[in-house]
Amino acid sequence: MSSISVGVLGATGLVGQSFILLLSSHPFFRLTTLGASPASAGLAYSKAVENKWKQSTCIPSSVQAIKLHECKPEHFSSCQIVFSGLDADVAGDIESAFRATNIAVFSNAKNHRRDPSVPLLVPLVNPHHLSILPHQQSLHTPPLQKGFIVTNANCSTTALVVPLSALQSRFGPIDQVIVTTMQAISGAGYPGVSAIDILDNVVPYISGEEEKMEWETLKILGGISADGKSFDNHSSHPIKVSASCNRVPVHTGHIMTASVKFSKRPPPSIDEVLKAFDEYVPPYLPQSHPSFASSDFSKIIPTAPPKAIHIHTTPNRPQPLLDRHLDKGASVSVGRVRECGVLDVKFVVLGNNVAIGAATSSVINAEIALARGYI
């Protein structure tokens, strides 16, 4: 596949750094342009982040000398794609400006997630929602030929909806979900939660997080209209989601406990649920696409994990420290699958919040969009 020029907005932040690591060695996305605040414009990337680099590996040599630009479309004219790691307080207008200049935007920010024409994409769950992009482009005057915005979901929602999608696709509608999260401090960005607040402590509140989980789940697991112009937000079988979100003193990896009630009566057995998790295949490519061998998948969607859900059978797994880096953080882990005394089934979910919960999702989304002809 020929190389495609891409850029990163908010390149000096934590999410931007994750994009840098993923894209610097990508087989066909060629990282050429980096954007940051006006204060960093003109600096070489290595100089701008010399006191801010928070990754466990060194700054890639291919990126160190790239000069930073302000996040303005004119500086990214050579890019077909930009990945946005911008903070929500500035992301909305900037991302819209890039879309208007016919650049495809894959965003980690929350600003456009509620937009009725913007896909809220978890690549392991709902890539078919990309089919709304022609409608999104048609809403502009004149209609856009190449520009669009795709957002990824909240990091905790992303981990939750993968096993829920496996259950829904096998057993039909889900009625109720009760989820309690224990979310890592890296999810708060940098500098994030102060040490005096989180050490030896659990903070039982994360602003806006519970609401995001409760409505994002409906948009992601719902369908899209036959005319490709709207999301149904699961209106035909509304899912009641109750989320309780907590910040815990773990660096990376959001872990959560979930209980689920099915519409199906009697509900599936635990063995059936385990089989559904184990056999879940993410719908990366359209149904009309011919089958590919696993080696072909790795060429077309190289960042995607070979398996979406890893099942842990030992009673004390998954754990963030032990399991967050499976498949480079691109998959989710599920364990302690058992009957629920109140609903039907309960289990533990672990997702890497800085990988599949952030930059990794955006990169896979872009790979899928390319494979489906939207880029």
Q: How far apart are CA 352 and CA 285, in angstroms?
A: 23
* Residue 221 contacts residue 284 (beta carbons within 8 Å): no
Tell me whether residue 155 is one of the annotated catalytic residues.
Answer: yes
- The CA-atom distances, in angstroms, between 185 and each of 66, 120, 194, 236, 249 are 30, 24, 9, 37, 6
Tell me whether residue 254 is one of the annotated catalytic residues.
Answer: yes
Q: What is the largest CA-CA distance in the chain?
A: 64
Two tokens at 369?
């969009």
Q: How far apart are CA 275 and CA 71, in angstroms?
A: 46
Residues in the chain: 375
> From the candidates 69, 254, 310, 312, which is the catalytic residue?
254
Chain-centroid distance, C-alpha 211 = 17
Two tokens at 231?
């999301």
> From the candidates 71, 155, 234, 310, which is the catalytic residue?
155
Q: Is 71 helix (H, G, I), strand (E, B) or coil?
A: coil
Q: Long-range contacts made by residues 23-29, C-beta under 8 angstroms, separation at least 24?
A: 23/83, 23/363, 24/60, 24/62, 24/63, 25/60, 26/302, 26/303, 26/363, 27/1, 27/299, 27/302, 28/1, 28/2, 28/3, 28/4, 29/3, 29/4, 29/81, 29/363, 29/366
- State the catalytic residues: 155, 254
